[in-house]
Amino acid sequence: MPNRTDLANAIRALSMDAVQQANSGHPGMPMGMADIAEVLWNDNLKHNPANPRWADRDRFVLSNGHGSMLLYSLLHLSGYDLPMSELRNFRQLHSKTPGHPEYGETPGVETTTGPLGQGIANAVGMALAEKVLANRFNRGGHTVVDHHTWVFLGDGCLMEGVSHEACSLAGRFGLGKLIAFWDDNGISIDGEVEGWFTDDTPARFEAYGWQVIRGVDGHDAVELQQAIDTARAENARPTLICARTVIGFGSPNKQGTEATHGAPLGADEVAATRTNLGWSHPPFEIPSEIAAAWDARNAGAQAEAAWREKFEAYRRDFAGLAEEFERRMSGALPDDWAERSTEILSELQSTGGDVATRKSSQIALNAFGPLLPELIGGSADLAGSNNTIWSGSVDVNEGTEGGNYIYFGVREFGMTAICNGLALHGGFIPYNATFLVFSDYARNAVRMSALLPVRNIHVYTHDSIGLGEDGPTHQPVEHVASLRLIPNLQVWRPCDTVESAVAWKAAIENSAPTALVFTRQGLPHQPRSTAQLENVARGGYLLKEADGGADALILASGSEIGLAVAAAEELSAQGIRVSVVSMPNPDLFRQQEQAYRDSVLPPAVRARVAVEAGVSACWAGLVGDHGQVIGVDRFGASAPAKALFEHYGLTVANVSRAVRESLAAAQDN
């Protein structure tokens, strides 16, 4: 009968062997945290290897994702669909064992980790999801939402600012089912961390409102289980277990040093480690008795079966709630969503007024929110400016069944990563909001939402020099273009209430993330036919078609649509026929079939001008060789918005001039 050390050594052996075979990777953390992982996974984790998507499973997040072989070893040993051949193929092309864990690539991986600190932030979102779902669905003595979120994290995660943001919020939210293990090994890539990381980490977490369990021996199963029991008993606070470990545990010549952190041990040291651990088995070979002791498939099946029995009893008493829970966890939208959302768009087209699109966004939320109990979100201390509170918003901290609004405070990065966690957990469509210029603070979490990808709606207001007097520090010029460069991220910059609602609808229906970009300043409502309204969802369409065919086109997005329409009307009075193309989502437009694109941008019409209050680079391919782009290719200035638009040439006169010049260039060639 294998003992706990034998079981933990299986992790160590697989980890060092896979890294050695790949000649790349991080063996030190898996070897150091193997004992913690063994106690957690064998005696405490609620999961079913045969169904990695079971709704009430515990979530396990490896925030220190460079130690990926720890997780792959655990998944293989406990019975997930991750055969030994995949461990042998560690870090190789198309394997299910990439260098860092990737959501969707490997069964049992709950989130993509690697950028340090984001894993713990995702875990905060998962734990928040569990709490809010429990408040909504647990009724009448039925507990159908009841699981923990477990996190492994290292010194690097704790140094990253995003961990401060997220963990502070976790304490405020009272996430009692969030339990984190700090791998306190004193080593990072550059060596002993005392040269650059001397924080009183336990005191820091106590200040956040966490329960902190200090000085746990990370290689002592008894101490570890006692710490876990203490953590489970605390319902009102998250818990940090401070586990002292030896990085590269078992390596006789390298343990406790940075030499084990990010490089293979080397063939000789691997052999010496085998001898030191008493592990006599060949590489990638797990003895049958150890494999059997790790196998969690039967226990997992029993755990899920017991929950399903509880859920059927719940269904008999609360049929409507059971149906809603299943729908939300599946990610499906309500059955009447398509019909009712389309009706809303038609109504807004007939009733829309001249308002800022940040207000239009709130109008859309008020219209769509009652249809979507899964909608949850908030703002980074800018709720009133971002207009993210709608008529049905309820603060999640009230702990009621209707909780759906989160006050994130000034934590753009943490907010966005937490919302990634909410999306990953399931049961929610999260949105997060700030000024567009501060999307830079959240950038890597936005990128992660696209890399995963998950449905996370990024709401960004005050989108240009139209912000005005706050000046260049607050005026985004490069941000829209920069966001458009991120793969899998849909970026919408709507021009009025109708386009704003279409953008929200598209974001809600999108399985990947979306950025919605809105103005501070008021914009005119645009008339549209039924066909034009339908075409908004294509990302670009003919908003104003010239009588008798166009001599030139003006392309624009967002706040510049009104300018484009005014310029077209001025030119029309001069006998120049100009069509206006609204392009709220240029990338989506580029994905349409060629025939549609040619109907919007006729190849024969070579005189084209694009207008957008931001850097001009992304428009060049749409205006062609004879076109012009009027943009803002430098930083802004502090002044009233009207003065700034005139200063930077975003005027009817300048657009009209550019159209005439483009016409002349096209005629000369």
* Residues taking part in catalysis: 412
Q: List CB contacts of 49: < 8 A, sequence separation 6 or more.
A: 75, 78, 79, 80, 81, 108, 296, 297, 300
Which parts of 250-398 fold into alpha helices (H)? Answer: 267-277, 288-294, 297-317, 319-330, 337-351, 357-368, 383-386
Q: How far apart, in whole angstroms, are the C-alpha atoms of residue 238 and residue 247?
A: 26
Q: How far apart, in whole angstroms, are the C-alpha atoms of residue 412 and residue 394?
A: 21
Handedness of CA 647, 649, 652, 654 (dihedral sign): positive
- Determine the number of helices (DSSP H) and then strands (DSSP E) in the chain: 27, 20
Q: How far apart, in whole angstroms, are the C-alpha atoms of residue 651 and residue 157?
A: 48
Task: Provide the phi-psi class of 94: left if phi over 0, else alpha when psi is between -120 and 50, else beta.
Answer: left
Going from the C-alpha of 465 to that of each of 469, 481, 510, 522, the distances in angstroms are 9, 15, 29, 14
Q: How far apart, in whole angstroms, are the C-alpha atoms of residue 407 and residue 324?
A: 25
- Indicate the residue type of 248: G
**SS3 at position 549:** coil
Two structure tokens written together for 177: 């089912």
Cα 120 to chain centroid distance, Å, stands at 13
What are residue 579's phi and psi, to 5 degrees?
-100, 150
Q: List CB contacts of 401: < 8 A, sequence separation 6 or more.
A: 135, 136
| Buried/exposed 233-248: b ≥16 CB within 10 Å, e otherwise | eeeebbbbbbbbbbbb
Nearest to 163 by CA among 227, 210, 215, 108: 210
If you ran DSSP here, which 8-state letter would residue 174 be given?
Answer: T
CB 171 within 8 A of CB 213: no
Q: Which long-range contacts (CB under 8 A, 24 or more apart) does 619-628 make?
A: 619/555, 619/586, 622/555, 622/583, 622/586, 623/555, 623/662, 625/669, 626/662, 626/665, 626/666, 626/669, 627/662, 628/658, 628/661, 628/662
